[in-house]
Every structure is written in C-alpha cells, then in structure tokens.
Structure 1
Amino acid sequence: STFKRPVGAFAAALIDQCGLRGYRHGGAAVSEKHCGFVVNLGGATCADVLALCDEVRAVVKEKTGYDLEKEIRVVKA
C-alpha cells in the first residue's frame, strides 16, 4: 500500500471517494484496480511517483480532512 491506514478510515476508500482512481502524473497513476497503490504506466520517474503522492495527499486532505501518511520509503542511492 502506498499510504498508511489513517485512524477510522481506509486510505484506498478515501482516495476513491475523492475521485482519484486512475489519476495520473507523468507515467505514474493511482491504480484502477485498487486505489491504495500507485502503478507505473511506463516510464514513470521517482519524481512522477512522489508528485502523484503529494497531489493525492493534498486532494484527500482538502476533501475529507484526513492527512494521509506515505507508507513507502524513498531510498537514495
């Protein structure tokens, strides 16, 4: 899962409720099959994935009041 489960809700349900299923940034997208995951549509960069996560967090916060926390870890080489 891309985001941790917030208290009292499910991240995937909140993302779906906000209409973000399939939402894209560059080559990265919120999965059509399960909104709790970000998928690479081909050629997604790390920047695409991180920007998508930030955009999803902002929309969910604005529409629901929940502040999603990333479950993924970014490792720099």
Structure 2
Amino acid sequence: MEQPSAGSTFKRPQGSYASKLIDECGLRGFSVGGAQVSEKHCGFVVNADGATCADVLGLIAQVQRIVREKTGFSLEPEVRFLGEQ
C-alpha cells in the first residue's frame, strides 16, 4: 500500500465482512481529518494526509456508527489502542 496504516481495522463480524459492509454503506474514501477509509480495501484506515490519533479514532467511531445504523452490524476494532484516548 502507498499509505501508512495499522492493517485491518475491524474484526470480521459473524455473517458478513467488515470491508463489504463499509463499502455497501458508501464509506470508501470517507475521511475525518487526515484519516481515510482506504480506496483500495475498505477494511483499512489509512493516513492519507497527516492524520492525528484523534482523526483515526473519530473515523473509526463514524464508520462504526454508520454501519450499525444502515446494516445492524456492530463493527469491533481489530487494532489495539495504546495510551490515553
């Protein structure tokens, strides 16, 4: 990948795939600050433009909320968070 990421951002929910749900909700390329849902693989959050920790956390929260509202699936982060949030 051309952009830094922490790898797969969400665990696979039972009965579907995180990347499929995110894409179906129209979130491919969706961004908060410098953090962006990858254009190549919707299951990855990438640092597209100087993303801060707050940008990444905000994007994850928005994706979780939108996917839950539109599909009923709850996405659980696969990445581990260290330090204060």
Q: Identify the TM-score tier after normalising by the shorter chain.
A: over 0.9
In the alignment, the residues of structure 2 paired with residue 69 and residue 26 of structure 1 have an alpha-carbon distance, to the nearest angstrom, of 22
Identity %: 64
1:68 aligned onto 2:75: yes
**Offset of 1:52 from its aligned partner?**
0.1
1:43, distance to aligned residue in structure 2 (A): 1.0
Q: 1:1-77, aligned counterparts within 5 Å?
A: 1-76=8-83
Distance apart, 1:45 and its partner CA: 0.3
**TM-score normalised per structure 2:** 0.88
3-state SS of paired residue (1:38): strand
TM-score, scaled relative to structure 1: 0.97
Larger relative strand fraction:
2
Cα distance in 1 between the residues matched to 2:16 and 2:63: 16
Deviation at 1:42, TM superposition (A): 2.1
Which 4+ residue blocks in structure 1 deviate beyond 6 angstroms?
Answer: none
Find the aligned partners of 1:40 and 1:11 in 2 and give their Cα distance.
Answer: 19
- Unaligned runs of at least 5 residues, structure 1: none
Q: Which runs of 5+ in 2 are unaligned?
A: 1-7
Distance in 1 separating the partners of 2:21 and 2:49: 26
> What is the CA RMSD across the aligned residues, in angstroms?
1.0
- Distance in 1, matches of 2:63 and 2:9, equals 11
